[in-house]
């Protein structure tokens, strides 16, 4: 039975507390602008009051289309403080995709950055009754977003200052945000996050990233992606400093690490590869913790990061799990092992956060597979940091939660120590002549070649074996390697039946969050052929 004096869990409490405890501490840095926690909290109150003054009703969706700027960070507090639900939209989407999300979510308000305004049909939005506010990202009074905040003072709320932040939701299971999936296999789905889930996910990130009040977090990860893996709330919870960054520029990132004293950042393997191979790369004077998720990092990448004094935290999750929900926790007895073995151990996905439930690997009947590091099954999860469901899609929600567990679609093995290691997405596994081939294993092998920057492996048609691996490779700047050299390199390290039959060189197609779009490569290879699995 719920205690009558219990308060509901909400990340709004993080800002309320930090503004009280650290009022004069720098909360946000953006170029030559900065805000203290007192100023940050005041701007959030003005955003919330402005939305209420504009007629927002409880549960209304408020969309933001913006790079990593203070307005988008403020929206993570101001929108739920007004009773609304934040819909942070992927900035790399096409106009038609953005229009679909706005329509499907039923957004009543849209805040759009000046650089992205061309993706919006203002006449169509007006016809649908969507209120539009432009963000110039100047911080000047004439910026329409700043004017909107100013509207909260005086006539909009009847006082010189907006009221304090709301105490929180009536129910911690109320939605706080909706994040749309990438939509690579169909229309994107709106993943519903709750106040409780966001609160506990943020706490989990703090524990795994070992954040303290001295944390200086660089926003290399898009805030629109799973609400920045919930670091939008986590950094504020400890009174850390948010360093905003409009664009991912590896040279700029290296400069900010030094000038701002950055202690933490997050990024997909693609971002990490850009950093370790940039001309500015050097061993850091102070350790920087970096959380890696979005795709499995290769042991080679992890080894390079550690050599530069980065402390990689390998995490795993999906949009449906508030971003990372598991991590490969380091064990003290790994300290004395060779770097290559350390990297191999760290490349596993590990186990659930303190605030999530333990992951399982199950067969088609939902039974645990043996913990033998060989038998493959599907990764399933449940607990506090799994989504509430898909917005307005009850059938899809019921299907993915069959048996009372969230089915990830990821194939993995279970090690004797309880750690999980991904082998592939179910749709990516290669079945060649009846043998299963993990594209991740092949990719990690190719990535060890000294000339390879990054790679992706997909199944391609084969008349005898049904399908075979093909590697798509991007070489490091100035490096050279032939197809035969890379294939022979693989044959010296893994079974020959797993080695790619062909190598294609060039850039890889990617999503805005750095994931390689394998389906584009696969569809290209299978054009005009009916896929056959032996």
Which string of DSSP letters, residue by residue, matches 395-414?
HHHHHHTGGGSEEEEEEEEE
Residue 239, exposed/middle/buried by CB under 10 A (0-12, 13-18, 19+)? buried
Per domain, the residue ranges of the chain are 430-534
In CATH terms, the superfamily for domain 430-534 is ANL, C-terminal domain (3.30.300.30)
pTM equals 0.86
pLDDT at 3: 66
Q: Are 38 and 21 in contact (CB under 8 A)?
A: no
Q: Are 346 and 325 in contact (CB under 8 A)?
A: no
Query: How many other CB atoms are found less than 10 A from the CB of residue 470?
Result: 22
- SS3 labels along 150-177: HCCCECCCCECCCCCCCCCCCCCCCEEE
Beta bridge partners of 264: 217, 289
How far is C-alpha 407 from the chain's CA centre?
A: 18
Q: Are 176 and 77 in contact (CB under 8 A)?
A: no
pLDDT at 243: 98
Q: Residue 407: CB partners within 8 Å, gap ≥ 6?
A: 378, 380, 400, 401
pLDDT at 217: 98
Phi-psi region of 434 (alpha: psi -120 to 50; beta: other; left: phi over 0): left
Q: Residue 463: CB partners within 8 Å, gap ≥ 6?
A: none
Dihedral angle sign, alpha carbons of residues 64, 165, 43, 205: negative
Distance CA 430, CA 162 (A): 58
8-state DSSP, 350? B
Q: What are phi and psi of 520, to 5 degrees?
A: -65, -45
How far is C-alpha 430 from the chain's CA centre?
A: 26
H or E element that contains 256: helix 250-259
Q: Are 76 and 232 in contact (CB under 8 A)?
A: yes
Distance CA 280, CA 300 (A): 19
Joined tokens for residue 45: 């109150």
Per-residue pLDDT of the chain (534 residues; tens, 9 = 90+): 566 677 899 999 999 999 999 999 999 999 999 999 999 999 999 999 999 999 999 999 999 999 999 999 999 999 999 999 999 999 988 888 899 999 999 999 999 999 999 999 999 999 999 999 999 999 999 999 999 998 876 434 345 688 888 778 999 999 999 999 875 446 789 999 999 999 999 999 999 999 999 999 999 999 999 999 999 999 999 999 999 999 999 999 999 999 999 999 999 888 999 999 999 999 999 999 999 997 778 889 999 999 999 999 999 999 999 999 999 999 999 999 998 899 889 999 999 999 999 999 999 999 999 999 999 999 999 999 999 999 999 999 999 999 999 999 999 999 999 999 998 877 788 878 767 788 888 999 999 999 999 999 999 998 878 889 999 999 999 999 999 999 999 999 987 888 999 999 999 998 766 778 888 998 899 887 755 332
Distance CA 220, CA 265 (A): 7
CA nearest neighbour of 430 among 468, 483, 376, 472: 468
CA nearest neighbour of 392 among 188, 240, 167, 209: 188
Which of helix, strand or coil describes residue 385? coil
Q: 70-81 and 12-21 are packed helices; what angle lies between their axes, rounded to 10 degrees?
A: 110
pLDDT at 533: 34
Q: Are 285 and 310 in contact (CB under 8 A)?
A: no
């Amino acid at each position: 039975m719920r205690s009558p004096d219990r308060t509901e869990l909400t990340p709004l409490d993080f800002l309320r507390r930090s503004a009280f405890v650290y009022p004069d501490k720098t909360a946000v840095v953006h170029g030559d602008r900065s805000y203290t926690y007192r100023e940050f909290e005041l701007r959030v109150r003005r955003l919330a009051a402005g939305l209420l003054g504009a007629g927002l009703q409880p549960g209304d969706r408020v969309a933001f289309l913006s790079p990593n700027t203070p307005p988008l960070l403020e929206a993570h507090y101001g929108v739920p403080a007004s009773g609304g639900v934040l819909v942070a939209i992927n900035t790399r989407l096409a106009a038609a995709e953005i229009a679909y999300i706005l329509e499907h979510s039923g957004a009543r308000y849209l805040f759009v950055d000046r650089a992205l305004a061309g993706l919006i049909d203002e006449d169509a939005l007006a016809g649908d009754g969507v209120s539009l506010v432009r963000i110039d990202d100047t911080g000047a009074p004439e910026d329409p977003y700043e004017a909107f905040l100013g509207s909260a003072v005086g006539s909009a709320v009847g006082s010189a200052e907006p009221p304090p932040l709301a105490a929180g939701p009536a129910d911690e299971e109320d939605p706080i945000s909706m994040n749309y999936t990438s939509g690579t296999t169909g229309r994107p789905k709106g993943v519903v996050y709750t106040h409780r889930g966001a609160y506990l996910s943020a706490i989990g990130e703090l524990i795994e990233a070992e954040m303290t009040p001295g944390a200086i977090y660089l926003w290399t990860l898009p805030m629109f992606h799973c609400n920045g893996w919930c670091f939008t709330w986590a950094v504020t919870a400890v009174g850390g400093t948010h360093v905003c960054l409009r664009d991912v520029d590896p040279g700029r990132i290296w400069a900010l690490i030094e000038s701002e004293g950055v202690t933490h950042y997050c990024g997909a393997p693609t971002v990490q590869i850009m950093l370790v191979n940039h001309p500015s790369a050097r061993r850091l004077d102070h350790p920087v913790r970096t959380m890696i998720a979005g795709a499995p990092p290769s042991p080679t990448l992890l080894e390079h990061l550690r050599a530069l004094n980065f402390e990689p935290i390998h995490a795993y999750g999906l949009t449906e799990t508030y971003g990372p929900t598991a991590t490969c926790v380091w064990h003290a007895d790994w300290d004395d092992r060779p770097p290559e073995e350390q990297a191999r151990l760290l490349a596993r996905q590990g186990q659930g956060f303190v605030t999530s439930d333990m992951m399982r690997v199950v067969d088609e009947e939902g039974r645990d597979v043996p913990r033998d590091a060989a038998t493959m099954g599907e990764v399933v999860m449940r607990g506090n940091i799994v989504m509430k469901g898909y917005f307005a899609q009850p059938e899809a929600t019921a299907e993915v939660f069959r048996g009372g567990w969230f089915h990830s679609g990821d194939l993995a093995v279970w090690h004797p120590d309880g750690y999980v290691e991904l082998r592939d997405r179910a749709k990516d596994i290669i079945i060649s002549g009846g043998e299963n081939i993990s594209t991740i294993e092949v990719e990690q092998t190719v990535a060890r070649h000294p000339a390879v920057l990054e790679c992706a492996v997909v199944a391609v048609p084969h008349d005898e074996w049904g399908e075979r691996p093909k590697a798509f490779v991007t070489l490091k700047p100035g490096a050279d390697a032939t197809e035969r050299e890379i294939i022979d390199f693989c044959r010296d390290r893994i079974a020959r039946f797993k080695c790619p039959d062909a190598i294609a060189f060039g850039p890889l197609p990617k999503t805005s969050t750095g994931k390689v779009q394998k389906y584009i490569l696969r569809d290209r290879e299978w054009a005009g052929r009916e896929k056959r699995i032996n």
